[in-house]
Structure 1
Amino acid sequence: MRAGLFVCENSTHIDSVATPEDALFRILTFCLSMSIAALSPAQAQTVPQSMAQIQLSYAPLVKQAAPGVVNIYAQRVVAERRNPFADDPFFGDLFRNFGQTTPRVQNSLGSGVIVGSDGLVVSNYHVVGQATEIRVVLSDRREFAAEVVLTDEQSDLAVLQLQGARDLPALSLADSDGAEVGDLVLAIGNPFGVGQTVSSGIISGLARSGIAVGSGRGYFLQTDAPINPGNSGGALVNMAGELVGVNTAIITRSGGSNGIGFAIPANLVAQVVSQARDGRERFQRPWAGVTAQAMDAALADAFDQTIPAGVVLLELHPDSPLAKAGLQRGDVILSVDGGEVNSAPEMMFRLAAKGIGGQSVLEARRGTDSREVTIDLIAPPESPERQTRRIDARSALAGLEVMRINPAVIAEFGLSPDADGILVTQAQDLAGRVGLRPGDVLLAINGEPVQSTADVARLSRAQTRAWVIELIREGRQLSLRFRL
């Protein structure tokens, strides 16, 4: 084949080439070198030395990372109520609880990430939570049974242990605090059950904290790498092949990817995995004992801030580590361990990623004065004792379960830091029929204050037909009046 003659922008000729492929490589290399020569030394990069370097590919990265991502098939048994009025637009609501319940097997499909060569896998709670049978399939088609060893519904994370697994290809975890908007990432998972699939994109947002997942709101990295059903629990990896996040949710109108996906940052994943290795069954966060509000433009004006930044402390429990460090209501938290915080979930994420047992340095502002305070990262105290008690069938409030509110109960049930009294945790049988609900805080029964669960048990045995129960429900004080 005759050698060709090619011309690029600088009118330089390249001839005497053996093949068109050689000619293409030389002309691309030459034109690229001319462009690089026009850059400053600080901007200049190495000229590609091969056609493979010109034809950039994610293939080497995928070969490195993909074996560490698994497919998960989970089954759970749910109680399904057979209701002949279920599809009726009117009677469906009226007879919502009509009919008998029957068990039904529900299947779920998702992905997971190997984080330990001994078979430790992290996935989403909504994929494997409450599953009765879990089967995990590796990229090389090996299959393992798995059991859940730790769960955290609030962050939508769960850790699995593969039975009989060893020497597995595990992904290393990146420092997700180093992620920046614009970083290239790959999403690896099993969308729609078609098999392992890779999609590419960038980190398109940081500190996303307004997305509801599971029972609470989390703190996420946002990506435009396509994420679809089945990708949940899969890996979001950076260009070093490290796990930067666990894919967990999308915003969609169609059920498919619209380019807005969310991943749980690797720093929180690392802490969850660490607690799983320590033998915990539930993830435990450091207790802050506060409620906080993000600084907006209106608040910034009231606090004489030019730019809205930080979170304002609204309530502090007396035993809160922040209160013990000298912080008080109205103080503004600007950063935790050097990382900016602009929402309450972001502040709690940074504390949770640090873990229990250490310390964190908070930058706080009061008025025009800024200072740093060091707080201890502790578990919520079980003081006073919660005194869990169930009211027996001989009492007028049979089926009621109550416990004394303490910091651990506040953290477990998401109560306000200033909550106090006796919390209703279950209201079945007669207690449910008279109007009591889980989450109610009991104040008094028939005019007598309740200060312990023993008081509730004693007062529920009163020989009377007329009852008045004072309580707090969703921040409002109510009175339940009924006759038995």
Structure 2
Amino acid sequence: MFRNCLTALTIVMLGALPIQAETRVPASQAEIALGFAPLVKEAAPAVVNIYAKIITETQARSPFMNDPFFDDLFRGFGQQRRPRVQNSLGSGVILSADGYVVSNYHVVGTASEIRVVTNDRREFNAQVVLADEESDLAILQLDEAEDLPFLTLRDSDRVEVGELALAIGNPFGVGQTVSSGIISGLARSGTATGAGRGYYIQTDAPINPGNSGGALIDVNGDLIGINTRILSRSGGSNGIGFAIPANLVREFVRQAQEGSEAFQRPWAGMSGQLMDADLAESLGLGLVEGMMISDLHPKSPFGRAGFQVGDVITQVDGEPVNSPPEMVFRMTVAGLGQTAVFTRVRDGVAEDVEVAMLPAPNDPPAEALALGERSVFPGLEIARINPAVASGMGLPFTADGVVVTHAGPYAARAGIQEADILVRVNGRDIERPTDVEQALREKTRWMQVELMRRGQRVVLRFRL
């Protein structure tokens, strides 16, 4: 929708005419002055400012805390939890005329109140319709919105290093700002600051606090990605910023428009190992590329498609794969319920294999259980681990047993946390949720709980 404004821009910035394919310098002062102005004029109205209110609970600090004498005497005194209001400032991008807006999870994902201000100063209330912390993406729906300007999503797999790019957002709350640069890297994973784990486009266009959720566009005005993070020691842009690719945004929008309450990814049911020169040589591969399958879950769709431990996956739908984050990204953008073609190398022979993109199965049944008021730990919620539970709680796909899905107030005071895997309670081995319930019924003066927490064995012992 923005290609009409590019004639002058293409001449000035690229210096190449499609027919003559020759470069030249700007011919006039007018061309020099024009720069990116037509492009920004068309794209900027689709980038909005977001003001979010987040209510968190904080614990008041006791004046006796850390005092060797009074700490025990006044333990818990004045440490009641109090609500605290935090204001978050960020940016967003309108993706449809009826008011679907994409932003970052860390901007709006936990907000209780969201206000969106457009470039022409119109204000809308908004609700989060789909959010995912791991991807750091959130989709908003504006109230009573219609005929809004919006950006078109580009196929981000076609983006190349060296392309010109513009970042549009609201850095430091000073108002909408535009910065320019190039695409300086692709397929970046695990390099950006923050909690998000993902697969990024790298740019040297300055991205500063408040730019989060803003647009990274190309010279056609199409959306390449959503600005999300920076690599910085000072908190400001040091020339390395990261954007979430448009193809992942497209899948988020699709699921949001279909009414999904939580973002769903296809389940791999495998773990992979990054290829290096030694591993490639041992497998008889000429090039160091791809990801080797190191473990497979019995119910993995890859196992059902004939994959084995030791196979190397080099491509997904014709796009290269060199790490587990790339694999997850490629599966996600392929789309839940679709099939994707994986290039498998076994014994030096490459073969294309179709694999169904399916959610993690709820098999065996989770047998979710909430303990009642008469239990030692009323409010404790537990479930049997299966692929769906493990995936939803971020557990290793090989995890087994019974997991705490919600600790509740009494178990939390005893030191039990969400995602703890219960191994033994009062000497009883735990295999099913009902085993926990029965073990807690036993009358005893002391309680001992053995559990696994982030791969470490923990033993809790306390008096009833």
**TM-score with structure 1 setting the length:** 0.85
How many angstroms does 1:285 deviate by?
0.8
Cα distance change on mapping 1:212 and 1:390 into 2, 3 Å: farther
Counterparts of 2:434 and 2:62, CA distance in 1: 45
Instruction: Indicate conservation of the 8 Å contact 1:225/1:259, yes or no.
Output: yes
Aligned-partner residue type, residue 40 of structure 2: V
Aligned-partner residue type, residue 390 of structure 1: A
Cα distance change on mapping 1:276 and 1:363 into 2, 3 Å: same
Instruction: Indicate conservation of the 8 Å contact 2:213/2:228, yes or no.
Output: yes
What CA deviation, in whole Å up to 9, does each residue of 1:92-125 have, x standing for no partner?
x999997232222111110000000001110001
1:222 to 202, 212, 217: 202
What CA deviation, in whole Å up to 9, does each residue of 1:120-176 have, x standing for no partner?
110001111111111111111111111111111111010111111100001000000
Aligned-partner residue type, residue 76 of structure 1: I
Task: Find the counterpart in structure 1 of residue 8 from structure 2.
Answer: none
Counterparts of 1:89 and 1:228, CA distance in 2: 41
Indicate the larger mover: 407-416 or 211-220.
211-220
How many angstroms does 1:216 deviate by?
4.0
Task: Find the counterpart in structure 1 of residue 7 from structure 2.
Answer: none
Aligned-partner residue type, residue 155 of structure 2: D
Task: Find the counterpart in structure 2 of residue 66 from structure 1.
Answer: 44
- CA RMSD after TM alignment: 2.9
Cα distance change on mapping 1:119 and 1:442 into 2, 3 Å: same
How many angstroms does 1:298 deviate by?
4.0
Aligned-partner residue type, residue 371 of structure 1: E
What CA deviation, in whole Å up to 9, does each residue of 1:430-484 have, x standing for no partner?
4334443322222333443333212221221012334444433322445545553
Aligned sequence identity (%): 54
How many angstroms does 1:88 deviate by?
9.2
How many angstroms does 1:212 deviate by?
5.4
Cα distance change on mapping 1:310 and 1:197 into 2, 3 Å: same
1:403 to 374, 383, 395: 383
Q: After TM superposition, list the pairs within 5 Å mapping 1:45-84 onto structure 2.
A: 52-53=30-31, 57-83=35-61
Task: Find the counterpart in structure 2 of residue 243 from structure 1.
Answer: 223
Q: After TM superposition, list the pairs within 5 Å mapping 1:181-330 onto structure 2.
A: 181-211=161-191, 215-330=195-310
2:97 aligned with 1:101, yes or no? Answer: no
How many angstroms does 1:370 deviate by?
2.1
Indicate the larger mover: 201-210 or 98-107.
98-107
SS in 1 for 2:106: helix
Aligned-partner residue type, residue 215 of structure 2: A
Cα distance change on mapping 1:250 and 1:87 into 2, 3 Å: farther
Task: Find the counterpart in structure 1 of residue 361 from structure 2.
Answer: 381
Instruction: Indicate conservation of the 8 Å contact 1:315/1:418, yes or no.
Output: no
Point out the structure with max Rg over C-alpha: 1
Cα distance change on mapping 1:274 and 1:463 into 2, 3 Å: same
Q: After TM superposition, list the pairs within 5 Å mapping 1:323-472 onto structure 2.
A: 323-472=303-452
Q: After TM superposition, list the pairs within 5 Å mapping 1:22-41 onto structure 2.
A: none
Cα distance change on mapping 1:64 and 1:302 into 2, 3 Å: same
How many angstroms does 1:89 deviate by?
12
SS in 2 for 1:246: strand
Counterparts of 2:134 and 2:67, CA distance in 1: 34
Counterparts of 2:171 and 2:64, CA distance in 1: 31
2:132 aligned with 1:132, yes or no? Answer: no
SS in 1 for 2:149: coil
Counterparts of 2:118 and 2:145, CA distance in 1: 11
2:153 to 170, 173, 190: 173
Counterparts of 2:460 and 2:66, CA distance in 1: 34
Counterparts of 1:423 and 1:57, CA distance in 2: 58
Task: Find the counterpart in structure 1 of residue 103 from structure 2.
Answer: 123
Instruction: Indicate conservation of the 8 Å contact 1:399/1:432, yes or no.
Output: no
What CA deviation, in whole Å up to 9, does each residue of 1:180-227 have, x standing for no partner?
111100000011111111000001111111135664411100000001
Counterparts of 1:326 and 1:380, CA distance in 2: 18
Cα distance change on mapping 1:213 and 1:313 into 2, 3 Å: farther
Instruction: Indicate conservation of the 8 Å contact 2:377/2:408, yes or no.
Output: no
How many angstroms does 1:264 deviate by?
0.2
Task: Find the counterpart in structure 2 of residue 14 from structure 1.
Answer: none
Counterparts of 2:381 and 2:65, CA distance in 1: 35
SS in 1 for 2:181: strand
Indicate the larger mover: 100-109 or 441-450.
441-450
SS in 1 for 2:441: coil
Counterparts of 2:92 and 2:68, CA distance in 1: 42
Task: Find the counterpart in structure 1 of residue 453 from structure 2.
Answer: 473
How many angstroms does 1:385 deviate by?
2.1
Counterparts of 1:394 and 1:194, CA distance in 2: 56
| Unaligned segments of structure 2, at least 5 residues | 1-10
| Unaligned segments of structure 1, at least 5 residues | 1-28, 30-34
Counterparts of 1:47 and 1:206, CA distance in 2: 29
Alignment: residue pair count = 446
Counterparts of 1:98 and 1:363, CA distance in 2: 61
